[in-house]
Amino acid sequence: MLSKVYSNSSTLGIEPEPHLADDFVKEFGSNARFRAVMSRLFYENGGLEEGTKIDLWKPQQLTWTDVGRILGEEENFQDDVYQWTDEAKAFCDSRGVGFFAACHFDRLRDHLYDPERPDPLLQLALRGTIGGWDGHGSAGTRIEKYLQERYALDQNVEYESRKLTFTKAATGQNNFRLSVNDPTADTLTLAQLHNVLFDVSSDQGLDGFIVEFDAAANVCYLDVLQVKTGQLSKSITVGGLQDERRENDRTMRGVLAKAKRGAENFRGHVLGLYKNAEAPQLVFRSFTLITTKKLNKAAKEKYFDKVAKVQWGDDFVDVFVISSSSCFDLMQPAVQKVVDECRK
């Protein structure tokens, strides 16, 4: 039984004693059941968005049904929530479960965003994405960046954390532009991008490129990378002509059509920079899809069990797919544990 009944309106705006927030974080670190519920609450309240503050007027709660699913619907699972509420670590009423106070949300943010411990936030993003939690696209973005970094390490190339942009005003800490001859702090040449994986800033159907620049022949070979995240239970199919036309990225034909368009856009942007200089030949050599989703049987036979080829302009491009288990093999052991938990 509850020894106290708490109300969101009367507690979320009150700053409790410091030790209560400390106790909250300690419970989060030591109690897997508490951590599972509070992680989902943090996610649902926009915690993965940097700088988010909890909405004191309309905080997001989990229904009792949601909490039951998270805790495995074990008999008397509500007793755990009642205990957390008695200890001022959670809030509950007849409708559901939420944060006891805003400072708990803020302290959890500080705990997860610790630059010395990047894994917890990534693990939360992964749990939300492959577990099918709705919304919050920043979770997928965080995982995509991580997989790019891991793929660069696997391919023994450097990773450029800034994104390439073709908008002159958009350079700075998070972006860079291409330069033909005169690189600056905000610009890089294709030669400087040799053996580097970099991302593009706008959604053109592609996530990244690995450049191999042959200066003597003035040829730039491009290996294209696309990262797609999603639920473990979701599959990518082969697709048909309509999927290709609509660029339906739940199908391989749609993914490849979107990638081809993005590649041609990229080629046009790059060659457009060479107005008074000899432009290099751009050759698209391969396309690799990395996805947390599975391929269905037909897609696996066509694109995973063998190397498929597609034609992009004059280039014949090898197609590789790193999906599901192969994708998770790129991850570090601490991150793989989240996948194992979600599979149970």
Which helix (H) or strand (E) segment holds residue 262: the answer is helix 252-271
pLDDT tens digits, one per residue of 12-41: 444 545 567 889 999 998 998 999 899 999
Is a pLDDT exceeding 80 seen at residue 341?
no
C-alpha separations of 226 from 150, 212, 333 in Å: 13, 18, 23
Instruction: Quote the percentage of the chain above a pLDDT of 90.
Output: 52
List, for residues 131-183, the tens digit of each pLDDT value.
777 655 678 888 888 999 999 999 999 999 898 988 776 566 788 889 888 88
Residue 183's pLDDT is what?
Answer: 84
pLDDT confidence tier of residue 9, bands split at 50, 70 and 90: very low
The CB density around residue 249, as the number of other CB atoms within 10 Å, is 21
Over range 306-333, report the average pLDDT.
93
175: closest CA among 144, 185, 267?
A: 185
251: tokens are 């199908």
DSSP 266-323: HHHHHHTT-SSSPPPEEEEEEEEEEESSEE-HHHIIIIISS-EEEEETTEEEEEEEEE
Residues 209-268 have pLDDT tens digits of 999 999 999 999 999 999 998 888 889 999 999 999 999 999 999 999 999 999 999 999
Q: Residue 6 pLDDT > 50, yes or no?
A: no
Cβ contact 263:206 at 8 Å: yes
3 state SS of 222: strand
Distance from the Cα of residue 340 to its chain's centroid: 18
Which residue shows structure tokens 């409790």? 16
Cβ partners under 8 Å of residue 135, min gap 6: none
What would the two tokens of residue 318 be? Answer: 């090898």
Instruction: Compute the mean pLDDT over every residue in the chain, rounded to the nearest whole number.
Output: 86
Q: Which of 195, 171, 173, 192 is nearest to 183 (CA)?
A: 192
pLDDT in the model for residue 333: 86
Residue-level pLDDT at 342: 78
pTM for the full predicted model: 0.79
In the block, which residue shows the tokens 């059941």? 33
Q: How far apart are CA 145 and CA 162, in angstroms?
A: 11
- What pLDDT does residue 18 have? 56
SS3 state at 127: helix
pLDDT at position 169: 65
pLDDT score, position 314: 93
Identify which of 233, 228, 227 has the alpha carbon closest to the alpha carbon of residue 342: 233
